[in-house]
Structure 1
Amino acid sequence: MRINHQTTATQALTLEEFLNLPETQPPSEFINGDIIQKHTPQGQHSLIQIELCKAIDRVAKPNKIAKAFPELRCTFGGDSIIPDIAVFRWARIPIEPSGKIANRFEIHPDWAIEILSPDQRQTKVLSNLLHCSRHGTEFGWLIDPEVESILVIDSTQRVELLSGTSRLPILREIELELTVDQVFDWLTLG
């Protein structure tokens, strides 16, 4: 096993052993048997993440269609990942017998969104989105603020690069029309 980004490993861990470790800051993911520490979000990443969660929740939460979760650990298919935004249809959100939301989400998101940070490897993030797609996620987005484009991965693992006025695909029940330009317009405060 390798621990990448800021630490080193001495022995292999199982997924369950990894999940019992204390949480790191920034958090770590368990991917293909490796522990990989996420990058600390910076300004553009944080602003896109906040605005996109608000936009999704504004149209999806009132009618209990879906909910956007920032930085939520999702454990499925032998990996434990933390998409920048994980969107779950309302009926799939894990609920405890008490009626409260569960702490552990051991299912794939319906829509996974990653925002590329400076110096972050695009292939690692794309690999997470492809893992999601292989396990049932309907859409994955890889948002790249530096080049103002968004890679979209659908459930068949078809990848499409969108930019400018291209309309972004969204879960069909969510009535949200959003273009690539609108996402990056959030970065201009004024």
Structure 2
Amino acid sequence: MSQSTATVPLVEFLAQSNIESSPAWELIDGRVVQKPMPTLFHSRLQRNLVNTINNRADGFEAIQELRCIIPPYSPVPDIAVIAEERLSDEDEPFNGAPDWLIEIRSPDQGTLDLQNKILHCLSNGTQLAWLIDCQRQQIWVWEGENLPIIYSGADVLPDLGLGLELTVDRILAMTRQKS
């Protein structure tokens, strides 16, 4: 499959055999897009943030690279945080928008495409979205229908009321945390 500018219906996209190859393919606004290959720091941040959330957020599960079906989109957020009662017992993509979506911007990734994915999820039930920009050392945060707020430094980030008390500095430090 190659990235294209032609639009593809969701059903046709989901029938493709290689959409789960690494890195994953997404369907965003009718366009087939392959996610960038993560770097070392991106992968560490993703792992460490998932572990932190899962160790401290009762009733929710943070999952890396989980395909979501949110017609007509099929995004694969870097991290999807979902209330446990919403998760299926079946091994399949998640039907619906995650409660909390976290994207980590790669150096060669534009923010407009990521924001488009985030806005679609927010308009379909996502309550909280973070866009982590390590290069700019800031995190854009959307809550519900509010405009995004940009956090930096020692700012404590919203977390669905889970009490994680994560700051931008602490999250950025996770890029160098080996375990």
When normalised by structure 2's length, the TM-score is 0.91
- Which residue is equivalent to 1:17? 12
- State the number of aligned residues: 176
Tell me, in whole angstroms, the C-alpha distance in 1 between the residues paired with 2:171 and 2:25: 27
* Alignment pair present for 1:179 and 2:173: no
Q: Which runs of 5+ in 1 are unaligned?
A: 97-101
Q: Residue 130 of structure 1 contacts residue 157 of structure 1 at CA under 8 Å; is this kept in 2?
A: no
1:109 aligns with 2:98: yes
State the one-letter code of the partner of 1:32.
D
Greater Cα radius of gyration, structure 1 or 2: 1
Q: Could you tell me how far apart the structure 2 residues matched to 1:122 and 1:8 are? A: 18
3-state DSSP of counterpart to 1:13: coil
1:90 is aligned to 84
**Does the alignment pair 1:34 with 2:22?**
no
**Gap change, CA 1:164 and 1:76, over 3 Å in 2:** same
Q: 1:77-156 alignment to 2 at 5 Å?
A: 77-96=71-90, 102-156=91-145
Contact 1:133 1:157 in 2 (8 A): no
Q: Do 1:59 and 1:176's aligned partners in 2 also have CA atoms closer than 8 Å?
A: yes
Counterparts of 1:48-67 in structure 2, within 5 Å, are 48-60=45-57, 63=58, 65-67=59-61
Distance 1:138 1:26 in 2: 26
Higher relative contact order (CA closer than 8 Å, sequence separation 6+): 2
What is the TM-score when the length of structure 1 is the normalising length?
0.86
SS of the equivalent of 1:114 reads: strand
1:166 paired with 2:155, answer yes
Amino acid at match of 2:71: G
C-alpha deviation, 1:107, in angstroms: 0.8
User: Closer, same or farther in 2 for the Cα pair 1:127/1:159, shift >3 Å?
Assistant: same
How far did residue 32 of structure 1 move?
A: 1.3
- CA-based RMSD of the aligned residues comes to 1.8
